[in-house]
Structure formats: C-alpha cells, structure tokens
Amino acid sequence: MSGGVGGFADIPYWNVDLPGLTREQAEWIAETACVKYGLPSSVVDPSVFLTLHMDRETALRIAQGLSNFDDDISVGVREIIDEWIRSTIR
C-alpha cells in the first residue's frame, strides 16, 4: 500500500506487527526507524485504535457493504480501501 505518511506517497508502505511491545519499546523502535533510516513512523495505541491486517477480498467486501451508506465515516473508510486497492494493482 502506498501511504501518504510524511510525504512518502510514492514509496511502498510496509508494516511490521510486533505484538507484546510496551509503549516505551514501540516509541524507541519508531524513533530508531526515523533517525537511522529516515522513515516516518507512528506509534499506534491499541487501546485507542483497531488495526486490521485484512486481505484484498475482505477489504473489497467491506467497501462494497459501505457503499450503501453516505455518512462521512463510511465514505472515508471506502476511500481508504479504494486508495489501497489502486496502489496495489500490479
């Protein structure tokens, strides 16, 4: 997925999932990635955000289901999924 994080929209957007980290460990890893490799990083608090790693078919089905709704959240999630699908077409 190409991401718009910190002006890096044209590079692949890989993600590393490391269960069991403390906040401090996650912040250290993010800072190291930024300082050592110049990669923009963000720490995602699992008590605030649900992070889903879903396959293309699941994402497409969710987007299709959300097409029945026109509220801001549904439209926003559809746009995120659509952008991801477009960016991963080979």
pLDDT one-digit tens code per residue, 48-90: 988 888 899 999 999 999 999 999 999 999 999 998 888 877 6
Q: How far apart are CA 87 and CA 90, in angstroms?
A: 8
What residue numbers bound the domain in which 74 lies? 54-90
Same domain membership, residue 33 and residue 2: yes
What percentage of residues in the chain have a pLDDT greater than 70? 86
User: Are residue 26 and residue 62 in the same domain, yes or no?
Assistant: no
Rounded Cα distance, 29 and 33, in Å: 6
Question: 54 vs 60, 62, 84, 89, CA distance in Å?
Answer: 10, 10, 11, 16
In a domain, 29, yes or no: yes
In a domain, 49, yes or no: no
Could you tell me if residue 3 is inside a domain? Answer: yes
Co-location of 37 and 12 in the same domain: yes
Per-residue pLDDT band at 25 (split at 50, 70, 90): very high
